[in-house]
Chains A and B, each alone.
Chain A
Amino acid sequence: MSDWIKWTAPAAAAVSITSAAHAVQYLSIPEAQKLAFPSASSFAEIQPGRVWKAQAGGRVVGLFVFDRVIGKHLYIDYAVALDPSGRILRIDILQYRESYGGEIRGPSWLAQFKGKTRGSSLEFNKDIRNISGATLSSMHITEGVKRVLAAYGSAIR
């Protein structure tokens, strides 16, 4: 292993950065709706906080479904846009929060997001914008999208 040299962490990094906890707000629900259905003039809420019918001049152009994955250390809001025949137009991640050292499902962890739309909590390391490391699985989103399709994938009447 003579081509490899022993590496020691820079002292500054070891002190200032220890947890990978970070949060990103990508899109609000209205922003994601507009991106998915640029032609839509209105979004009729048909299930509160969850499903909207996108309409353009009285015509239905698709369905916008908001969903959330909450796991041990991860909390993701995402949206699935479906065309009128129930096919997926796009899937956007709206919000991503990763945290350790406590269960994300805990009431105190969740309480800090009540009424907040943008990630600004002390719990998160704002320096972290990009991470490389173990590949994150997005399997739970795939499973969530399957559920969304099963519920809303049939043609919109």
Chain B
Amino acid sequence: MAAQSDSLRRARPLLGTFVEIDVAGAARDAMETAVEAAFRAIAQVHRLMSFHDPASDVSRLNREASTRAVTVDDWTFQVLATTGDLHRRSNGLFDVSIAPALQRLGLLPGQTDDRRRAPEETPMADGIELLARNRIRFKRPDIKIDLGGIAKGFAVDRAVDVLRRCGMSHGIVNAGGDLAAFGSTPASIHLRDPRDPGRILCQVAVKDEALASTSGSFDPVRSSQAADCAIIDPRSRQPARQLAGATVRAPSCMIADALTKLVMIDPPSAASLLAQARASALIVSADGEVNASREWERARAA
């Protein structure tokens, strides 16, 4: 079956979602090998950056980095360099330490009846020090990080690198909606309507770029409704509720993934960050209004 096809499509459960890899234009064995290697790269990101796996870099940092410098993998270091940069550019709105902090304080919704008793300040410096030779130190004892808002995009980028290095001329890597496509023909991507994930909002053509979407996470095994979104606005220490969902297109999936969070938290200030990153976005507000950044509309017109 399907032995005649010159394309290959595989899916695995990784990063808490379904990761799908689609390649075309090479011999079957070569495609199979490339896809296998790309899945290995994603599994490696999963191992390094899982918040729950006690052996991950993230868990090691959360246990030890406030008492001593901890050496991490190149990839973890790269991601933390990006999160630090985004933290500065966004004046603290992008904060990989906010969700664990709130969890520990029992301040995430549904866990306490007194959400007001948060710590006094949200520090502007993210408190994560990047040292020579891939070492990381936390400047305060209470810092815990969760890279859930960026690792998936980074994993997609690594998988795309692997596919390209294996000589694939076309490919798409889609990690539960955070995706990147490369090749000579654009890939057509359908966007779910965040207000009703069973429906399609529109279609976009993606070529040599990435697309990431955020809204409440969604499990069609249980329901057609999306859950409350898990992005915390560091200013209110509440889930970002202004938007039902956002989709960002950007040169890399890591940046697209991270920018969806900033767009969800504060659309007005995110507009300039999008421009700096050569990115664009489509946003759906909680009341159903759909807006696009100017670049998004330009890309559509092109």
Is the A/B pair a real complex?
yes
Show the binding face of A for B, using Cβ within 8 Å.
1, 3-10, 13, 17-21, 24, 26-28, 31, 35, 69-74, 78, 90-93, 96, 98, 100-101, 117-118, 127-142, 145
The answer to whether B203 touches A13 (Cβ under 8 A) is yes
The answer to whether B221 touches A132 (Cβ under 8 A) is no
In angstroms, Cα B15 to Cα A137, docked, is 9
For A93, the chain B residues whose CB sits under 8 A away are: 10-13, 18
For B174, the chain A residues whose CB sits under 8 A away are: 130-132
Q: Does B62 contact A (CB under 8 A)?
A: no
Residue of A nearest to B300 (CB): A10
Sorting the interface of chain B by its residue count into under 10, 10 to 19, 20 to 34 or 35 or more gives 35 or more
For B194, the chain A residues whose CB sits under 8 A away are: 133-134
Q: Does B50 contact A (CB under 8 A)?
A: no
Q: Does B238 contact A (CB under 8 A)?
A: no
Q: Does B251 contact A (CB under 8 A)?
A: no
The answer to whether A6 touches B219 (Cβ under 8 A) is no
Partner pick for A133 among B245, B283, B296, B297, CB 8 A cutoff: B245
For B172, the chain A residues whose CB sits under 8 A away are: 130
The answer to whether A69 touches B221 (Cβ under 8 A) is yes
In angstroms, Cα B200 to Cα A9, docked, is 10
The answer to whether A140 touches B268 (Cβ under 8 A) is no
Most buried by A among B181, B200, B211: B200
28 A-B pairs (CB sep. < 8 Å): A4-B271, A4-B291, A7-B291, A17-B190, A19-B199, A27-B10, A69-B221, A72-B224, A73-B198, A73-B220, A92-B10, A93-B13, A93-B18, A100-B199, A101-B198, A117-B1, A127-B188, A129-B187, A130-B20, A130-B172, A132-B174, A132-B179, A132-B190, A133-B193, A134-B215, A135-B178, A139-B219, A145-B13
Q: Does B109 contact A (CB under 8 A)?
A: no
